[in-house]
Each structure stands twice: as structure tokens, then as C-alpha cells.
């Protein structure tokens, strides 16, 4: 969760350095964030279905590991992006991975604490937010 939180909560810290380094328009850079958020949120049902299909023993492990690999690839692409298209590809890949990790963690928290679902989701989301520090 800490690996993915910075892509969302600290994004604005990366915009100005990218603008200065590549002379890209800020609006163009911000599209990468929009792509990240769109893929992170809209693909979470797919991640949840994969976790359920693989079962409780392997589903979460495989989905979180796969998501972590995707986020890592996205970080590397973002670090070496020399065009907006490459930055957008990194955003799409890392957003897909972030959604897989987030959906799996939230889903597991709800399953582990069925009588305290709201608290479980809140604590998991708080852990996600704490990863930005």
C-alpha cells in the first residue's frame, strides 16, 4: 500500500520537476494522473473477480504480488519517461496494479472482520493514506 500511495497522494510533487525537465505542458502531465485514477478505480472489479476465482489461499497473494510488479514497472516507466505517451503508459500500468492491490486489501479486510466492516475498510484506507509520508 505504501508503494502505491505516493502515486496518488504525492503526485503534485512530481509535476513541477517533470515540467522543468521536459518542458511538457502541465495539463499534459496531469493527464497521466487522470489515467492513473481511472485505471485504479475502474479495474478494481476485475481484480476482485480474480481474487475470488483464485480462492482465499492464493487469490490475494497472487493479485497483490501481480499488482506490486505492475506498480514497480509503472514507477520505472515514470522515472525514464521521455515522452508524454510513455508517462501515460506508466500511469495506466501503475494504476492497474494499484487498483489490484487496493481492491484486494479492502476485500480482505471486509472478509476478515465481517462484524466491523466499516472500521476494517476505514483502517485499510488509513493505511493507504499513511503510505504517503
What is the C-alpha separation between 108 and 43, in angstroms, rounded? 17
**Global model pTM greater than 0.85:** yes
Helices 2-9 and 117-130: angle between axes, nearest 10 degrees: 70
What is the C-alpha separation between 15 and 68, in angstroms, rounded? 23
pLDDT in tens, 18-37: 999 999 999 999 999 999 99
| Residue 22 lies in domain | 2-130
Number of domains in the chain: 1
Q: What is the pLDDT of residue 125?
A: 81
Amino acid at each position: 500500500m505504501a508503494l502505491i500511495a505516493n502515486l496518488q497522494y504525492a503526485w503534485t510533487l512530481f509535476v513541477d520537476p517533470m515540467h522543468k525537465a521536459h518542458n511538457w505542458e502541465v495539463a499534459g502531465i496531469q493527464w497521466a494522473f487522470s489515467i492513473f485514477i481511472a485505471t485504479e478505480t475502474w479495474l478494481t472489479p476485475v481484480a476482485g473477480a480474480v481474487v475470488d476465482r483464485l480462492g482465499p489461499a492464493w487469490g490475494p497473494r497472487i493479485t497483490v504480488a501481480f499488482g506490486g510488479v505492475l506498480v514497480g514497472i509503472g514507477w520505472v516507466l515514470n522515472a525514464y519517461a521521455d515522452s508524454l505517451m510513455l508517462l501515460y503508459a506508466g500511469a495506466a500500468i501503475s494504476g492497474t496494479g494499484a487498483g489490484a492491490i487496493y481492491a484486494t486489501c479492502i476485500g480482505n479486510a471486509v472478509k476478515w472482520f465481517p462484524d466491523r466492516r466499516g472500521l476494517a475498510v476505514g483502517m485499510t484506507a488509513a493505511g493507504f493514506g499513511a503510505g504517503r509520508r
